[in-house]
Amino acid sequence: MRVARFSLNGEPKFGVLDGPELVVLAGHPLVSGYETTGQRVPLKEVKLLAPTIPSKVVCVGKNYADHASELGLELNGDPTIFFKPSSSIVGPGDPIVIPVQSDRIELEVELTVVIGQLAKNVSEEDALDYVWGFTIANDVTARDLQFSDDQWARSKAFDSFCPLGPWIETDFVPDGQLLESRIDGETKQSASIDLMLHDVPKIISFVSHNMTLLPGDVILTGTPAGIAQIRSGEIVECEIEGIGTLLNPVI
């Protein structure tokens, strides 16, 4: 099912998508389960929010060989991980804000794992049992700062640099689905998630052996080649087959 977080009368709520409507849940699904209030609201009448506000945003770099190649980066044997702050998260329809510190901001569509229970030292065989579902992220990056700084933190961390959504798909199973990104309707990235060098179970296991993952945490699993500069006034779309489309304007 598709679990959305949205604003209703100024309050954040969770709901399950049922056609053109959201079935409103009584509380947070990871705490209260899927008990409903009985209320239904039209999807078109609510503001969708980022589907989770995690304690941490874990990112995997260089997980598609063609992307590493286009940036001139060497591949590692283990997954390369870095972080984005939770303050970088925005929801569907929220603007990506171009900071004055950078002259080149680029998009990166990424399949994103949403953790459903505390995960520590998880095996690859059991890794998917710890997943609540999957969503879409845009790992917006100040590319010039990524290479001028000694590490990647600042280039990935600006407010609005982690659009997330539009919802969490709990029944998604990673198996060759297509990732795409578009700027004003023009396709920039298009690749199968099967091209990931480290698959989802390996990533979850690896991260959980290096830090404890908490319910609601997210892991961005990397981006394929085709990254492109985004500019004010443009519309950015990130789409993953079987999940949906995340759309954000650039200002």
For the chain, which domains are there?
2-49 (2.30.30.370), 57-249 (3.90.850.10)
Helix or strand holding residue 245 (H, E):
strand 244-249
Q: How many CA atoms lie within 13 A of 197 on its CB side?
A: 18
Looking at residue 75, its pLDDT comes to: 80
Looking at residue 67, its pLDDT comes to: 83
For 33, residues 6+ apart whose C-beta sits below 8 A from its C-beta are: none
Looking at residue 101, its pLDDT comes to: 97
9 within 8 A of 24, measured Cβ to Cβ: no
Token output for 105: 């901001």
Looking at residue 69, its pLDDT comes to: 81
- Stretches where the chain sits below pLDDT 70 are none
Token output for 50: 């980022």
Q: Give the ranges where 106-183 is alpha helix by DSSP (H).
A: 143-148, 153-157
b/e string for 181-219 if b means 16 or more Cβ within 10 A? Answer: bbbeeeebbebebebbbbebbbbbbbbbeeeebebbbbb
Looking at residue 77, its pLDDT comes to: 86
- Residue found by looking up tokens 């060759």 in the block: 176
140 within 8 A of 105, measured Cβ to Cβ: yes
Looking at residue 73, its pLDDT comes to: 76
Looking at residue 150, its pLDDT comes to: 85
